[in-house]
Amino acid sequence: MKKFFILFLAPYFLLAWNLYPTYPNYLAKKKELLEYFYFKAKTPQKVVALTFDDGPNRHTKAIMEVLKKYNAPATFFLIGKNLKKDSYKLYQNPLFSVGMHTFDHKQFDKVSSAVVDEDFQKTIALFKKRHLQTTLFRPAYGVVNQAIVNNLQKYNIHAILWSNDSFDWDKKRRSYKNVVEHLESGDIILMHDHATKPQELAQLLEVIAQKGFRVVSINELLKYPSALPFN
């Protein structure tokens, strides 16, 4: 009955939280599992965090230039196979932090736990080889499951999800209007290196500031408790 209740209410939270379309299934999982995943900060402070997935790629430098211009921190969740020999040099600016985003963007609810374990090992080893230190991880497609939690515990890693999806991956989207319309204190905003347009990002940063919000790093948000869609 409880699972049905959550699935029934999930569309409301998808609208309120601006999440990914698969979330009705993930939010139906046990609260004890969901508590290992950080969706947003529970705080009255008008702070939000910017995150970029799937890099590094040819668009990353242009995005960083905009962020530097506005002195806006951001966390980049990197795909292991995209990391070349000198990739770490991109992230040496103190404004930027990094997190793991799997080795090759596997969807972890469609593979065995052994494959998930191997992916964590490969990605962690490669980050070390590329001189990138992090305790942050974001599962591809925002997957929530026990195999991920097992590795979070094993390696003392924080899983970072999001509460405000830019939908920049959707070719029909034409602006970040939906981000602004859903903007709330403690939000983690999801964007992608390959889809973010620098001019739109600059406009978004200006509107965020106009609304009285301050952009902070994920590590600063982690000082606050995590807010769950279902408490």
* Cis, peptide link before residue 56, omega less than 30° from 0: yes
15-33 pLDDT, tens per residue?
457 766 667 777 777 888 9
pLDDT at 178: 85
pLDDT score, position 1 = 41
Q: How many C-beta atoms surround the C-beta of residue 123 within 10 A?
A: 22
Amino acid making up residue 54? D
Token digits of residue 199: 């001019």
The question of whether 192 is a catalytic residue gets the answer yes
The domain 2-221 having CATH identifier 3.20.20.370: the answer here is yes
Answer whether 34's CB lies under 8 Å from 199's CB. Answer: no
Please list the residues that pair with 164 across neighbouring strands.
Answer: 189
Instruction: Report the C-alpha gap between 180 and 165 in whole angstroms.
Output: 11
Distance between CA atoms of 228 and 231, rounded to whole angstroms?
6
Point out which residues pair with 75 in neighbouring strands. Answer: 51, 97
Reported pTM: 0.91
Going from the C-alpha of 9 to that of each of 5, 16, 98, 202, the distances in angstroms are: 6, 11, 33, 35
Task: Considering the candidates 54, 158, 192, 193, report the single residue annotated as catalytic.
Answer: 192
Give me the pLDDT at residue 55, please: 96
Long-range contact list for 137-141, CB < 8 A, 24+ apart? Answer: 137/77, 137/99, 137/100, 137/101, 138/51, 138/53, 138/77, 138/99, 138/100, 138/101, 139/101, 139/102, 139/108, 140/101, 140/102, 140/105, 140/106, 140/107, 140/108, 141/20, 141/22, 141/107
Q: What is the pLDDT of residue 5?
A: 38
Annotation marks residue 194 as catalytic: no
Token duo for residue 125: 């080893």
pLDDT of 16: 57
Q: What are the structural domain ranges in the chain?
A: 2-221
> Tens of pLDDT along the chain (231 residues)?
444 434 444 444 444 577 666 677 777 778 889 999 999 999 999 999 999 999 999 999 999 999 999 999 999 999 999 999 898 899 999 999 999 999 999 999 999 999 999 999 999 999 999 999 999 999 999 999 999 999 999 999 999 999 999 988 887 776 788 899 989 999 999 999 999 999 999 999 999 999 999 999 999 999 999 998 765
Identify how many contiguous H helices and E strands the chain contains and give both numbers. 9, 9
Position of tokens 């959550």?
6
